[in-house]
Amino acid sequence: MRRVLVRAARLSPGVATFAGLVVVFLALIVATDGAGGGLVAWLPLFLMATAATLWLGRRRRHTGRIQLKWLLPVAAAAALTITVCIPTVPTHRRYPTDLPFVAVEHWRLATGSRVAVYHYPPAPGSPRRLNPLVYLHGGPIRGISLLDHAFLRLLARQGYDVYAYEQAGGGRSDLLPMAQYTIDRLVTDLGAFIDRLGHGQVDVLGFSSGAIVLTRGLANPGLAARVHRAIIAEPGPMDGPTARVDGHPGRPSARGIAPGPAGPRSTYTPRYGVAFGLMRLGLLGLDNSLIGQSEAANAFTAADLGSDTASAYCAPDAHRIPAEDSPQNFSFNAAASLRVQQTLRDSPSLAPQLRLSRTPALLMIAECSAQIRQWETTVLATDPAIERTQYMPNVGHHMWNGLDDNNQRAATVITAFLEDQPGPLPNYPTRTDIPAFLQDRR
């Protein structure tokens, strides 16, 4: 034990020096906002490391040289921190490759956004539906997953003229300046897309953050007038006050049970681990000089989402979670997503406007949702035009996930509402059911 303590005492100055230099480097990154790709922070660190090496070796000057044991921790700190300054992915935007089963078009909207658009026309011989169906994906600011594309094709086979677009900054859509990523911009882009479509009123299916965009659109009389029917599927918080509500999720999800996601993680490399971590903590600006928006979007991988994917599935499905996307199609602009979420949290109450909504709406709630229940029940309690709620058993947040008959069940619920037919499930919870629904932790 004495020998171990002696060795630890000998190592401690070097370890403390290494840790101290790394902390100083991170502080300089924050102070300079990553200027020069991190080099502005690294240069003074290198000078400090050199000075630290000389100081640590000053008691050994009689030997005529600095001992290696003093040099190693300083050199290691300098080597580790310089890796934060070296890009390992292209710094210009690298878009996902084209999909083999659907063509992508690029539309310039009246807002200035240039978005990637996908069109699934009704299958030949299927009953033709009156209104086009527009899909708003989740994220926000990510690509449409292959699982979602499969579900859109299913809806097209049932006669729907399906259009989907990726929000500006996500997927194959062009980037925006960071300051332009706001929740209000996503709503105005929806209105501009409907206008650009030019088919009059449309039905809209919004999922997750797309459901937030749709809900906020329904509170805008001008936009709501262009929506024939609305499906609000698994919405997040609709405004700042709702985002600050304490609550609980639905029945247990696969979070913490499912195996860790496969594939490389950008956050395991020093450059992107530091950048994304500091941005997430709010210590580094989202439009920082350490990594540009293009590089950040290129670097982020599906595995970086960690347990977020597992949280979209029920606990019994933990060991059979499907691959939602391919590396070639996956795209997530994490910095832009955080920016949109910030503007949502800072937004005032939407309730006064939403109470005036008259667009017929359906609310879809998943049994194993990881969403806070109070986010969903707030929409139900506030929007008087929600005609029915469908509580989807045995599915998590990603209700159309390709498992069992989940896609068909979700499609049946959507079709019944759009065709004004009785729902396949009980209308539950209703507004009067909300207190009991929350108390039972459904």
In this structure, which amino acid lies at residue 85? C
Residues 111 and 79 in one domain: no
The phi and psi torsions of 256 (rounded to 5 degrees) equal: 85, -5
Residues 54 and 131 in one domain: no
Number of domains in the chain: 2
Residues 133 and 6 in one domain: no
Residue 5 has pLDDT above 50, yes or no: no
Residues 125 and 56 in one domain: no
Residue of higher predicted confidence among 89 and 12: 89
What CA–CA distance (Å, rounded) separates 326 from 146? 7
Residues 81 and 108 in one domain: no
Residues 252 and 346 in one domain: yes
Tell me the average pLDDT of the chain: 90
Q: What pLDDT was estimated at residue 234?
A: 98
Residue 253 has pLDDT above 50, yes or no: yes
Domain boundary residue, one of 55, 85, 115: 85
- Whether 284 is covered by a domain: the verdict is no
Residues 56 and 109 in one domain: no
Kindly list the strands in the beta sheet with 202-207, ordered across the sheet, starting from the edge strand earlier in the chain: 104-108, 114-120, 162-166, 133-136, 202-207, 227-233, 361-366, 386-392
- Whether 234 is covered by a domain: the verdict is yes
**Secondary-structure breakdown of the chain: helix, strand, coil percentages, each rounded to the nearest 5:** 45, 10, 40
- Whether 56 is covered by a domain: the verdict is yes
Residues 117 and 15 in one domain: no
Residue of higher predicted confidence among 306 and 139: 139
Q: Average the pLDDT over 251-280 and give the result.
A: 90
Residues 111 and 80 in one domain: no
- Whether 281 is covered by a domain: the verdict is no
Q: Residue 432's domain is classified under what CATH number? A: 3.40.50.1820
Percent of the chain at pLDDT > 90 equals: 74
- The model's pTM is 0.91
- Whether 351 is covered by a domain: the verdict is yes
- Whether 430 is covered by a domain: the verdict is yes
Note the pLDDT tens digit of each residue in 315-364. 999 999 999 999 999 999 999 999 999 999 999 999 999 999 999 999 99
Domain boundary residue, one of 85, 115, 136: 85
Q: Give strand pairing partners of 133.
A: 162, 203
Q: Which domain holds residue 223?
A: 104-256+311-330+340-439
Residue 9 has pLDDT above 50, yes or no: no
Residues 112 and 74 in one domain: no
Note the pLDDT tens digit of each residue in 67-91. 555 667 677 777 777 888 899 999 9
Residues 64 and 110 in one domain: no
Residue 62 has pLDDT above 70, yes or no: no
- Whether 297 is covered by a domain: the verdict is no
Residues 48 and 119 in one domain: no
- Whether 14 is covered by a domain: the verdict is yes
Note the pLDDT tens digit of each residue in 92-108. 999 999 999 999 999 99
